[in-house]
């Protein structure tokens, strides 16, 4: 599908679950025609159950709902949770569900990592926030710091068409999508932001998101702030960060200081010497795990989405970001990140870096190359093409009885 820059959008920054979940649930509550939803994680906790109630109520009043969750990220949904939705007419799909092998999940690679909601074709949500309680600040020390955006305007059409294609939307759903008369004209150009929907797949768009980061870094003139939870990019992006810093751009990188997975910090620390000695300011966010995937540059460019800057997101997973040209949104996100830098981050000082001994350098080179080439290594393993599986609605008891009677009659006739 053809996707290009769209003018006339209004984009609102949503920080953490406290801002994100009420906006999404409210949009679903007001839905009149359709809801499209993709997520990596959906848990049966307070947040997941609240989403379940809103979707069920919308389906029961005739809203067409299609949703896809990842088979690795959401492996434990109960039959009752899913069947109550499908019984109400919700089209529910798993992306690449796989059976457990000795109690372990084996479908680790090529995950559906996008988080997208589109309601009535007039409002969309894109970002890094999953449907789980760990995105609320009151979850505890492991509550995640994260971001999403609420979008209105012409770009919503691109987002919705893409999700429809991705989930194999049913023909009757496309009828409401094609009829723009369902959409209030006031929402066609509700703001001034220019936006581009960018996605990563394993087909023709393998490095689109990374390319936009590279282009941004090569063109930056004043300053760049990148906040990324799982930071372990390739040579090109590291080189462009260093090049930008050395031509006078203030480049600041925020990574996890209190990671949800220890290996995350180990990987990022391997890059500290190269970046800090090259002039990049590196900060560790220490209040709680950082889960955001956002960036701003100069006074106009910004991005929010699901893509980390690591081998999984850049080389294997299905991701989606919005690239935004808008001074007001840039300032809003910039102010938020500046607050994090001032209140919750510790700068990595050059004099505190480990000395560059031959042993340390050799270890870093070996680990770096292993992690960077991990996607290719994963490709050597026994592979399968990820498949989408639709969950059928449960068979009604009376239908089961009717089927049994018809089967018995057939046996009698034969």
Residues designated catalytic: 113, 115, 120, 291, 293, 298
Closest by CA position to 185, among listed 241, 122, 143: 122
Cβ neighbors of 194 (< 8 A, separation 6 or more) are 5, 6, 7, 9, 324, 325, 326
**Can you tell me whether residue 82 is helix, strand or coil?**
helix
Q: 335: burial class by Cβ within 10 Å (0-12, 13-18, 19+)?
A: exposed
State the Cα–Cα distance between residues 3 and 145, nearest whole angstrom: 30
Measured distance CA(225)–CA(251) in Å, rounded: 6
**In a 3-state reduction of DSSP, which class is residue 179?**
coil
Token readout for 285 is: 């966010």
Q: How far is CA 382 from CA 6, 100, 105, 111, 399, in A?
A: 42, 16, 15, 16, 41
Contact yes or no for 32/120 (Cβ under 8 A): yes
**3-state SS assignment for residue 111:** coil
* Cα→Cα distances 99→36, 102, 104, 107, 318, Å: 26, 10, 9, 9, 21
CA-closest candidate to residue 187, choices 121, 248, 250, 134: 121
Among 258, 256, 254, 218, smallest CA distance to 336 is for 254
């Amino acid at each position: 599908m053809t996707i290009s820059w769209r003018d006339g959008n209004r984009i609102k920054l949503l920080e953490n679950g406290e801002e994100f979940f009420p906006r999404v649930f409210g949009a679903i509550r007001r839905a009149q025609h359709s809801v499209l939803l993709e997520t990596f994680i959906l848990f049966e906790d307070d947040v997941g159950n609240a989403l379940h109630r809103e979707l069920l109520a919308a389906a029961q009043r005739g809203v067409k709902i299609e949703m896809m969750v990842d088979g690795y990220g959401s492996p434990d949904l109960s039959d009752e949770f899913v069947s109550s939705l499908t019984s109400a007419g919700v089209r529910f799909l798993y992306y690449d569900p796989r059976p457990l092998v000795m109690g372990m999940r084996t479908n680790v690679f090529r995950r559906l990592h996008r988080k997208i909601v589109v309601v009535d074709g007039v409002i969309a949500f894109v970002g890094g926030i999953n449907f789980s309680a760990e995105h609320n600040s009151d979850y505890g020390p492991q509550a995640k710091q994260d971001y999403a955006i609420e979008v209105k305007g012409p770009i919503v059409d691109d987002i919705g068409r893409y999700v429809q294609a991705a989930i194999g939307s049913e023909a009757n759903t496309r009828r409401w999508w094609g009829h723009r008369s369902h959409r209030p004209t006031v929402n066609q150009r509700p703001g001034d932001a220019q936006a581009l929907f960018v996605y990563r797949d394993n087909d023709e768009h393998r490095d689109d998101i990374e390319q936009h980061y590279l282009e941004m870094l090569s063109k930056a003139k004043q300053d760049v702030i990148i906040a990324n939870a799982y930071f372990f990019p390739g040579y090109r992006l590291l080189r462009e960060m260093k090049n930008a810093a050395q031509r006078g751009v203030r480049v600041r990188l925020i990574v996890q200081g209190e990671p949800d997975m220890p290996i995350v910090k180990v990987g990022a620390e391997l890059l500290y010497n190269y970046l800090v000695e090259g002039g990049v300011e590196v900060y560790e966010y220490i209040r709680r795990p950082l889960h955001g995937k956002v960036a701003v540059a100069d006074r106009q460019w910004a991005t929010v989405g699901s893509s980390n800057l690591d081998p999984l997101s850049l080389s294997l997973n299905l991701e989606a970001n919005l690239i935004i040209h808008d001074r007001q949104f840039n300032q809003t996100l910039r102010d938020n990140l500046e607050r994090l830098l001032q209140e919750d981050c510790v700068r990595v000082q050059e004099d505190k870096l480990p000395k560059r001994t031959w042993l340390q350098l050799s270890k870093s080179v070996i680990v770096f190359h292993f992690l960077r080439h991990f996607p290719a290594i994963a490709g050597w393993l026994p592979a399968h093409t990820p498949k989408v599986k639709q969950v059928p609605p449960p068979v009604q008891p009376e239908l089961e009885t009717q089927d049994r009677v018809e089967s018995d009659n057939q046996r009698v006739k034969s």
